Amino acid sequence: MVKIICAGFQKTGTKSLSRALEILGYKVYDAGEVYMYMRNTWMDFFKGKITIEDVCREYDRQKVDVVVDGPANYFWEEMSKYWPDAKVILTMRDNEDKWYESIVKFYKGIVRWVGKLAYLGYLTPYGYLTEKHLTLPYHMLVFGNCNFHPLVQDFDNVNNESIYKRKYREHNAYVNRYCPKERLLVMNVKDGWAPLIKFLELKQPDAEFPFRNKGGQVNELMEDMMPAHTNRCKLEVGLVLVLIFLLPFAVSYYLNFIVQSYKLQ
């Protein structure tokens, strides 16, 4: 049964919180685990085949203690009803300007890292289905558009800042308004262990608080986030390219075989 639901938006220190909770002994499912172990479940949810309760049952089946990042952060309320004893942690930045600056830097970094190669993902069944039925629906649900996604890359849209900041404010305000105060911790990860340990009523570990992805280093994030997913896409793209390369030879061989057969008649 899930014990902690992390409701914070991306780029609010979720990677640091995820690692801290792992140090404390929890089994954490962050974005990487979603794409590795919960991909089909969330895709079925966005396709309307199953309910959020079915998603929660799958987390229970996999004996998960903590859910972090999307899509779970958006459905914190439904999940907190399913797990009535679970605590909720809302991570926030100092202010919305810093959050917006961070998320723009993050997505621009992803675009620089993957560039137009993002379109190659559509050559693979795995990549195509993941984007269509998980990543893109989640972006639309949370932000109202997919402008920062590598397949769109609409960073110059003059409305981005006001839209994204509004979504950030609305989400945080909703969590603060409707989550029971005795179950909620509003946390800035720069405060380290103290608020987290007090909230969970645990002893502080000897390890320093793990500040992950500080400054938005894309290489560190990609290492943390979903290597299994990206490697699967790379493998399928490679196979497709090999098949495309071999196809002319196969066709040529087949046509030559047909011509030779007619000559022998």
- Nearest Cα to Cα of residue 165 among 248, 231, 100: 100
CATH top class, domain 4-264 = alpha beta
Kindly report the number of other CB atoms within 10 A of residue 217's CB atom: 13
pLDDT of residue 137: 95
Domain ranges of the chain: 4-264
**pTM, rounded to two decimals:** 0.81
What pLDDT is recorded for position 217?
A: 54
According to the model, what pLDDT value does residue 224 have? 47
The predicted structure's pLDDT at residue 112: 72
DSSP calls for 102-133: HHHHHHHHHHHHHGGGGGGGGGSHHHHHHIII
Residues of the chain with pLDDT under 70: 113-123, 213-265
pLDDT of residue 194: 96
**What does each C-alpha distance from 12 to 15, 37, 106, 243 come to in angstroms?**
8, 24, 12, 43
**Ramachandran category for residue 153: left, alpha or beta (phi over 0 → left; psi -120 to 50 → alpha):** left
Write the pLDDT tens digit of every residue in 95-120: 999 999 999 988 888 777 665 555 55
